[in-house]
Chains A and B, each alone.
Chain A
Amino acid sequence: NAGVTQTPKFQVLKTGQSMTLQCAQDMNHNSMYWYRQDPGMGLRLIYYSASEGTTDKGEVPNGYNVSRLNKREFSLRLESAAPSQTSVYFCASSQNILLSGANVLTFGAGSRLTVL
């Protein structure tokens, strides 16, 4: 029972390079999320997908794009990486963000990204 799987776990980029973080869940959840965690800042929402076929901006979307490929997969893309995007990125899923009481979050293990 894998839950939420993120790849890669670690990545080092140079400024201006692009990359995609992959996320997949096997719990048949409708809603998926990308958060970033910076020291002392808690977790801040980048983008979320309430259901397959929809995506919406969160608190800190600038510099990122997302794709909800299917119900299982939700990817995060950095088109031109900047040092300010150095962070730990977490993917999460929940049963259904549109229903109160159906939003227990399950997190992946995280992806540590360094932009030089």
Chain B
Amino acid sequence: GIQVEQSPPDLILQEGANSTLRCNFSDSVNNLQWFHQNPWGQLINLFYIPSGTKQNGRLSATTVATERYSLLYISSSQTTDSGVYFCAVEGAGGSYIPTFGRGTSLIVHP
């Protein structure tokens, strides 16, 4: 099946800093989602982004499907951004089942 790798595995920031999280995938994909898991465990969908760029407040995401990667940008980070960020991809081989990466754990210090 499709392989999904996220980097870095861990990230520690000071409040106000910017960061870029990366998601690489091993095969063609139909779609890609980014999720945030807060410290209480709740998973929230941030972006549904098969290609191109989307922005939502301080967060934006870019997927370059032809080069098999996606980036999640967090600007002016806040302590509430802490948690784990996952990307999930739907392979283009006929199955639309989302496959998750192992996540990037982000801690934002005040």
Give the interface size bracket for A toward B: 20 to 34
Q: Residues of B contacting A109 with CB < 8 Å?
A: 41-42
Verify A105–B31 contact, CB threshold 8 A: no
Verify B102–A42 contact, CB threshold 8 A: yes
Q: Residues of A contacting B100 with CB < 8 Å?
A: 35, 42-44
- Given known A40-B102, A58-B97, contact A106–B41 (CB-CB < 8 A): no
Verify A103–B101 contact, CB threshold 8 A: no
B25 interface contact, C-beta 8 A: no
Verify A103–B43 contact, CB threshold 8 A: no
A98 interface contact, C-beta 8 A: yes
Verify B31–A103 contact, CB threshold 8 A: yes
Verify B90–A100 contact, CB threshold 8 A: yes
A2 interface contact, C-beta 8 A: no
